[in-house]
Amino acid sequence: MSQLTEYQFPKGFWWGSAASGPQTEGRIENDGKGDSMWDYWYKEAPEKFFNQVGPEKTSQVYQKYQEDIQLMKATGHTTFRTSIQWSRLIPDGVGAVNPKAVAFYNDYIDDMIANGIEPFMNLYHFDMPMALQEKGGWLNRETVDAYVTFAKTCFELFGDRVKKWFTHNEPIVPVEAGYLYQFHYPLEINLKHAVQVGYHEMLASAKAIAAYHGMKLGGEIGIILNLTPSYPRDETNPADVKAAVIADAFFNRSFLDPSVKGEFPVELVELLKEIDHLPVYEEEDLVIIKENTVDLLGINYYQPRRVKAKETPIDHTNGPMPEDYFDTYEMPGRKMNPYRGWEIYEKGIYDILTNVRENYGNIRCYISENGMGVEGEERFINEKGEIEDDYRIDFVKDHLKYVHQAITEGANCQGYHMWTCMDNWSWNNAYKNRYGFISVNLAEDGKRTIKKSGHWFKQISSQNGFND
């Protein structure tokens, strides 16, 4: 019998990690996968990707999933989230299903379950099939219908075993990265397009939820949102507070409110109406969104957003932008992850869970991502060939203390997933920053080695908690 731990979590707490299909699976000859917009963009501009490592390499999970599941078991996973690649399952986005993809996902799911790991499956993780992107991607309303068909296909094929489904991971990212800030293809700066893309993602989510509930498969369906709390520079300054409210409406509540409450935030709707940027929509859409809210909320948390009233001149070069309404603020003395350029603020995870408890009906939720990307981890390899990533242990532990506090105060938080299981390919950054419990050596055919944090996580999972 182990002693009672200082930070004890509720019975059945979900311990594990998160990844995605496009960031882990890779491609091999004749696997039947169609191009996603990432495959296309890499072919067009490989120099945009760190060390020119493209999505065909990733972490070779397509071939190594059985080994990987044993490593998940060895690192204490009771649950694991990944995504089904739309362009793998339905290569052209619509039409014929790829039988090789069905066989792969069936084996992957079955092997997880056989090893006591519950699969959580997400449907969209930034990986638009290129055939649909050429017709406008999320800008095109036809993509909503194509997505719902894809979702139903997944439910029919795998829903007898997968009981935790998610419609989107971080739907704000295609909005920001693809249509506001040029991080991702199609590299636009166009708020009107960004709003339309976000709206279609939200409508697609609600329609997929309706389809899932209609199929009566006995599971749950939710959405995964990266919630980045907006903190005003000065809580006593009304202008700073207002700026934080607007930033929050743009980047958090734009998806959180319709997903959980079934309606868009009034502040955002009024602002978009003022600048004539409301999306094109049909009246019945709003009923569908209202009536098909999530069963479960995944919360990704990495960093806070610090906001102050607008002090710099508005840049009109590209038309209206969210930054017309606020400036970002660097808090003096902040703690930083120098590799990623992100502030580390552990209490943010508590503030999110408290907000969800107080303002969103205390919906069942879990931490679906939280993690620390570090460059050059090979510096920390010990004589056994393992990476001693004490900084990652400290990062996870310090966040888990706040998760524990929120649960003690009544937050309905069911689990914690770190990003990520094994080092994976991260969009333009490729393998620049490593996040995993398990290292991946690209020079040695993707050889896997559990890091110190992975062994530590096994202890936490086994004890369902930890001592400081």
pLDDT of residue 386: 95
Q: What is the DSSP string of 378-442?
A: GGGB-TTS-B--HHHHHHHHHHHHHHHHHHHTT--EEEEEEE-SB----GGGTTSEE--SEEEEG
Phi, psi (deg, nearest 5) at residue 436: -80, 160
What is the C-alpha to C-alpha distance for residues 207 and 141, in angstroms, rounded to an integer? 13
Segments in the chain below pLDDT 70: 1-4
Domain ranges of the chain: 7-466
In angstroms, what CA-CA distances link 424 with 10, 431, 445? 30, 7, 14
pLDDT of residue 3: 54
Buried b (16+ CB within 10 A) or exposed e, 439-457: bbebeeebebbbbbbbebb
CB 229 within 8 A of CB 244: no
For residue 186, say if its preceding peptide bond is cis, omega within 30 degrees of 0: yes
What is the C-alpha to C-alpha distance for residues 49 and 430, in angstroms, rounded to an integer? 6
Domain 7-466, CATH: 3.20.20.80
Residue 189 burial by CB count (10 A; 0-12/13-18/19+): exposed, middle or buried?
middle
pLDDT of residue 294: 99
What is the C-alpha to C-alpha distance for residues 301 and 388, in angstroms, rounded to an integer? 24
**Residue numbers annotated as active site:** 369
pLDDT of residue 4: 61
For 188-242, the pLDDT digits (tens) are: 999 999 999 999 999 999 999 999 999 999 999 999 999 999 999 999 999 999 9
Name the residue type at position 199: Y
pTM of the predicted model over 0.95:
yes
Phi, psi (deg, nearest 5) at residue 101: -70, -40
